[in-house]
Each structure stands twice: as structure tokens, then as C-alpha cells.
Chains A and B, each alone.
Chain A
């Protein structure tokens, strides 16, 4: 059945709440400020006793959720704007991420931190953050990053069911994307990349909203007889390097498009892994299309200039096959 992304995400939340009474929702902007946010009220009428709207207290309520997870609940915390996770950093990066290891594998922390990352149009520097690269640098956290209706549903279910703290990285620009979501679809296991478009000339790795940009770019490049394979890792931790290497085996060329800042970003880490393990398969250097290393500016043309646009992706792919 074809669904909008927001519908698939909402279905997932509904099915998760119905299936497991250990799941509590802490804060509730899972559909951001989109026009569809009212559907969240349906959940509230059914499961209100398992939902709280806490004060503007990210550090406090991320700690509350983490502690509740230690005691056997499976809370999903909504941080809303991704940059707000910086307010909760000590609880996410220093408590939740470390608890299982520090306790010698005794204390499990099955909490989900949900956030909307990235360039959203006018978010400026403090509401456009993509903290997933920093979080990838905190061992102990799983990171899921969907790009399609089917993936958001399947990955959210897995995020809730794993026994580890999971960062669920969403993007408001995906909410109206449409796509096929099979009924009774199974949860999508972590660590399994998805080939979003098959191709033979270039491996284009993309995450989150840039997957949509990558698919648009690939469609245009096809008219130039450049056959692009688009691969979406879907989770950064665990990371499916094998799927990428097997694609490179075929294409020998790589472009990575991702919205984190370039330095120490998601594309940087993926590029390093490919260079370390697949260098001999490459016929040309790895190219990155990331957000430029500047604080995100407000004005529309400035914001558009720094992000990984369709045209920047096209340029990078053309360069890779030149």
C-alpha cells in the first residue's frame, strides 16, 4: 500500500504502543510542526497514560527516560529539533551510551532518542543540526536514519525492540514523501543497507533526506547514460560496510552524499572505511557531498548553498565517471 512517510511513521508508533505496554512516549512532536501533527492526538486519546509532555528540560527528561529504560520500560523520547540533543548531551553521551559497558554488561538501556536533523528551511544555526556524526563517535549508541516510508516504520519498530540506547534520526523534509509500505511488513533489522536504485557506473551512498536528492539526481544522470546505484545504509551503528563494498566491486566509483558537516562527518567516516578496506576496488578517488563546514546560515540562498543539493550530487557523480 502506498503511504506518506508521516502516515507510515504514525502507524509504527500506533502499532508499537498497542503491542507493548512498556513503551512510553516522552514528549510528542514525532511529526514535527507538519500540518499532519494533529494525528498524534489520536494516540493521546488511546494511550494518554503512557505519554507525558515534559517541561522544556531536555537534560532532565532524557535522564528520566534513560533511568526508566534501566528499570524495564522502553521509552521513546522526542527531542524534536536535532540540535536540542546538545542540551541533553550528558545524559545521552555520558550516561545512556556508557551504562551497559560500565556495568560490565549488566544494565540495559533500551531507550530511543528521536530527533529531526538537518536543513529544514530557515532553521538557521541552532535549529538545523545533524548531530548523528558526533553521536557516531560515542560507542554504545545505535543510530538509525530512515529515508522512506517503509524504512521509517520498520526501523522505528526495531529501535524500540533493541536493548540498546538508539538515536532515531529523522528529517522533516521526508514527512510527505510517498512510498510503498507492505501491510504487516516486518521490522527492518539494523545493520542492513538497502539498495534504493540499482546501477552499474557509480555507487552513490546517501542517508536520510539526501537519499531522495540522490534518487532525483540518479534519474537525471540516467538521461546522460550514467547508471547510478543508490545505497542507503539505513543505520550508521551497526554499519553495513559489506553491502557498500559489494556495490563498489561492480562500479569502482563512489560518491557519498550526507547532510552532516564535512569534517569528521558521516561521509568522512564512510569514506575512511571504504579507503581502508576497498581501496583496491576503486578506479577514482572518493568524493563527498556534505554540508559545508560553516554554521548553518538563515537566508534561503545561503542555506541552499551549503547543503548537499541535487546539483552538487550530479556534479560529483559526473566528476567520478569523467
Chain B
């Protein structure tokens, strides 16, 4: 279902989902052309979680994310051209080319640090929450990580600390292995946890936890909004596991685009390669959201298509910007590692 929000906001969320989708489809193309070489991870397929969840936050809240951070940063409003430039290792990158895909940050938007060690941010998120509590500024921290992060010891240690000190932090676990793909095809989840459902782990530490459908933007929005409100009221940490179905382009070691996205796919997937067709038919949160917008009379098909065209144009310009941005001066590698 759609989030219970005014039409204007619903359109804004749609626009952000388009930005993420077309950003990453272009990123795959850039990589395949050899424009950048490092490894990277796609957020495609999880837009229905990150976009509505992040829209529930205050502008001064803190967010932490992992190697799978592009979607979170873009959902919060990072300029696509600066993120492209960072991933391409250019001087105009968000982090001046020092971080890359894994570590892109935007402190002015609350993203202080993105860790490529999957559970690294979970203890850190208790720290900003601890600081916010000490400073009594009402800021909430949202820690965005995947199901695999719970396998590292840092996760239970941080859950314990958050619970003991009633810290204002939302642990938003994005489990993109709902039907099993990637690491554990045919299993119920891509993580390998004896604690199952995953919410058993936070519950053991008395952190209230729930499992929701992460493809359902409306449910993600209402659940996150409620959790954030409880946290801001001083009720301590909350844990939400949002389940999504892994994007077929993320099943391979290096990301691929099985089918370039287009609004028309929301009603006709007959042209999609057969292996990926079911995902586009029933698991793609963007296409589901488009259908709901149109069928719920929140937007016309033409309007959505026009929005998509506009986003594509903007993304093309952002790519152009990044490709033309110079590499940082080699000597800059020797600077700025101490404040």
C-alpha cells in the first residue's frame, strides 16, 4: 500500500525511488565500461524500504549505513553527481575520492560514517545515540544494515548497550533475502543465523523488534514513523527487520542490470528476460509503487513517465559531471588523515 501521506509527498518519494534506480543502473554501465574498477553494491530492490523510512526523519537526525549505501544517501537528498564522482574516485566526490562506494558520507545530512565492515556501524550508532541523549537534543540515530551484519559480534554487543542505556536508536535491518538468493539460494534468508527469525536476536536483549514486508512502502512508512516517535519519546531502541526480495542483478558477484527500468514495466513485463521476470512482476518495490500511484489515482501514467524521463535526464547530466571531474592530485593521498 501507499504511505498515508499527501499526494505531493507521495510524488516526492516516487521521485527519490526513480533517482536511486536510474543512478544505479547507470553505475553498472559505468563499471562495465571500465570507468571505475572497485567493487560496489546495489540498493535496487530496496527502494521501498529506504525511501519511506528515511522520509520519517528530522533533518538533524543521524544515519549510519554500510557498503550498500547509495540508496540511503540518495533517499536523503545527496546530489547524484557528487556520489557518482566519489564512486569514480574523482576530486568532486563527496569524500574527495578518499572513500569510494563503500564509504560515501554526507555529514551535513547526518551521514557521518559509512562502514564496509558489515556490523561496524552498529556500535557506532549507539555512540551518536549516546551523545544525543547526553546533549538532550532529541536527535534519533537510524542504523541501516543488512541481515548479514547480525552475524558479527559487534551487533549483539551494540544491541546490549543500546538496551541497557535506553539509547535513541532505530536498528533498521534490511533483509534482502526474503526468498533466498545469492549466498544461500533456496534457503529462507541470505544470512546464516541460528537465531531465526532474526528478530529473536534483538528480543533477547529486550529491544522491541518487528518483522515487516520491506516492499510495502506504506507499511515501512507507518512502522518507521511509529518507531521513531517512540524513540524520540525516550522509550529506548527499536528494531525493525524489513524483508525485501534480492534484486536479480545483485545475485551475481559483480552487479548486473537484467532489465533496464521503465515505467511501462509496471503493467507489462513480457519483454523482461525470463529469469528475472517474476522479480519485476511481483517483487520490484518501484514498479509496485508506480502501480499503486496510478491505480490509486495519485498520479497519471503519463505524469509518472514524464517524471522518470526527467530523472533520467538529470542522472545523465550527473554522470557527465562525474566523468569530467578530475582525479584528485596524487599528493592529496598524503594529506587529511589527521584533523
A residues near B (Cβ < 8 Å) are 24, 50, 52, 54-55, 57, 59-73, 90-91, 94-95, 99-108, 110, 139-140, 142, 162-164
Contact = CB atoms under 8 A, between A and B. Distances in A.
B113 interface: yes
Interface string B102-126: 0101010000110101001011111
Contacts of A163: 339
B161 A60 contact: yes
A24 B127 CA distance: 12
A139 B128 CA distance: 24
Interface of B: 62, 64, 93-99, 103, 105, 107, 112-113, 115, 117, 120, 122-132, 134-135, 153-154, 157-158, 160-161, 164-165, 336-339
Contact of A107 (B113, B125, B164): B113
A68 B131 contact: yes
In the complex, the 8 A-B pairs of residues with the closest C-beta atoms, listed nearest first: A67-B127, A63-B123, A60-B157, A104-B95, A71-B131, A163-B339, A104-B96, A67-B124
Contact of A61 (B115, B161, B336): B161
Contacts, number: 150
A99 B161 CA distance: 22
Given A60-B161, A67-B126, A164-B338, A106 B103 contact: no
B124 A95 contact: yes
Contacts of A71: 62, 112, 127-128, 131-132, 135
A72 B131 contact: yes
Contact of A103 (B113, B130, B161, B164): B113
A64 B143 CA distance: 13
Nearest to B128: A71
A68 B120 contact: no
Contact of B161 (A24, A54, A102): A54
Contacts of A50: 134
Question: Which of B105, B123, B132 lies at the interface centre, i.e. has the most chain A CB atoms within 10 A of its CB?
Answer: B123
A94 B107 CA distance: 19
Contacts of B153: 59
B154 A63 contact: yes
Nearest to B100: A102
